[in-house]
Structure 1
């Protein structure tokens, strides 16, 4: 396994909003990974022969109207894309790799499990995961079926809720969501997941404004509470540029308008917004009830799904 190229599938926007994320992710992977890496950028396409084909006007291909991001449902297509052979890593574009990806690529996987992800019990996060493509064939619906179902993404996460034996959970920090209070040295893969506080906004939003475009995220933009992580992203951005990487090298012909769930009123996650909540007018009773609910093991309300 160590001799074959590590296959990495990355979900990203089709209208060039995520160029900075793509550049920094690409650079960070190759900076730390000694093995050959093949990256597939998963972006909506007008090409009928593409696995990511969508034609909203004709209701063909992927139906994206209930997705929180431009790529939410793509992760389920990876095993069939790979011909149900070998392994494949999936990750969102808003990720900074700080370790050799071979660690994750070679992660043990128990018999009968189709994917390695973050979580356990009532939590399943597949925003950085490893697929056993052959095993996944036994559990995933056909790609053509998923494309036509706007609810396919949430349905599949609910299937995993009912069948936790299909997921092998890693215990390391391969999907560290917005720092989680850890020192940078403890983080293997940083996922700056809160769409409102993403470090890349400092670069992408001015670029998009100058081009007369807008970002796909339509919620409020806020500073990230971890300045050390923000500085880390800036460091990797500059290092990528110094190494010859450029955001424009990742640009594609824009896909254009596509239906997507609005993120107006988006509240982020408990890691990035905790400080704001504690300083807000939310009552002690409200915060206590929220904590009590999160402690109820086995509760459906406690099951965490990817966006």
Structure 2
């Protein structure tokens, strides 16, 4: 483990429509962690002086492009993990953190996700493109991602960013598939570490029958531990 990065440093994409999802994901990370986890959120309301990119009608969340500011937010030093809000952590992030490999600028699960144009949760656009969902979990080697300046993040095309055209292919390392399992797209293995409700999660009214929704619902219920009422004497 790199001495300057003893514990996982995590950035979660934030969208106000998925506020509850962010909180459940945060708790699920901490609940399974064997070591301290540093967790922050990428909120556009906190990046107004830096993130000036206009809204694109094809983006389905507020953090579609701001996720690529993570290396800049870290001062291009050390490692950091970006993760979409629509996920549930079932594994110990220390295991994922231990997979950091200095040979690479970024490490991702290299999905072969072929989808058709259409809509997904809340009528948001479903856009097919090469390397789809690779950027939903990214382990950044920040010092090797200096190409991701705020100017580039604000002006590069969506395909340039999400298809990692700012890197050479050999700089993109691979993570085990258990760390980004696409619910409703692929079978969920017994050893899944992160469930990704990419088609929409049960926090949306129109997605409550999504496979493995019960796991997310149980995780949300686990957030609340009301005190038992004391019988009056």
TM-score (norm 2): 0.77
- Whole-Å Cα distance in 1 between the matches of residues 142 and 42 of structure 2? 17
Deviation at 1:144, TM superposition (A): 2.7
Structure 1 residues 232 and 222: CA distance shift in structure 2, 3 A: closer
- Whole-Å Cα distance in 2 between the matches of residues 98 and 243 of structure 1? 24
Q: 2:143 aligns with which of 120, 127, 134?
A: 134
Deviation at 1:166, TM superposition (A): 1.8
Match of 1:250 in 2: none
Deviation at 1:65, TM superposition (A): 2.4
Match of 2:119 in 1: none
Q: Does 1:201 align with 2:207?
A: no
Deviation at 1:99, TM superposition (A): 0.6
CA RMSD of aligned residues (A): 2.7
Equivalent positions of 1:126-275 (< 5 A) are 126-137=135-146, 140-147=147-154, 149=155, 151-160=156-165, 163-178=168-183, 180-183=186-189, 185-195=190-200, 198-202=201-205, 221-226=206-211, 229-242=212-225
- Number of aligned residue pairs: 205
User: How far does the alpha carbon of each residue in 1:189-212 deviate from its partner, in whole angstroms, 9 at most, with x for none?
Assistant: 0011113xx11114xxxxxxxxxx
Runs of 4+ that moved beyond 6 A: none
User: How far does the alpha carbon of each residue in 1:16-62 deviate from its partner, in whole angstroms, 9 at most, with x for none?
Assistant: 321210121011001001211121111111xxxx4x2179xxxx723
- Whole-Å Cα distance in 2 between the matches of residues 84 and 170 of structure 1? 21
Match of 2:53 in 1: 62
The runs of 5 or more residues in structure 1 that have no matched partner are 203-220, 245-307
Match of 1:23 in 2: 23
Greater CA deviation, 152-161 or 234-243?
A: 152-161
Match of 1:117 in 2: 108
The runs of 5 or more residues in structure 2 that have no matched partner are 113-129, 228-233
Greater CA deviation, 33-42 or 158-167?
A: 158-167
Q: Going by fraction, where is helix more abundant, 1 or 2?
A: 1
TM-score (norm 1): 0.60
Q: Secondary structure at the match of 1:144?
A: helix
User: How far does the alpha carbon of each residue in 1:77-131 deviate from its partner, in whole angstroms, 9 at most, with x for none?
Assistant: 11111011000000011110001101111214252x2111011786361201200
Structure 1 residues 102 and 76: CA distance shift in structure 2, 3 A: same
Deviation at 1:8, TM superposition (A): 0.7
- Whole-Å Cα distance in 1 between the matches of residues 226 and 137 of structure 2? 26
Q: Secondary structure at the match of 1:99?
A: coil
Match of 2:48 in 1: 53
Preserved CA contact (<8 Å) 1:115 1:130: yes
Match of 2:122 in 1: none
Match of 1:93 in 2: 85
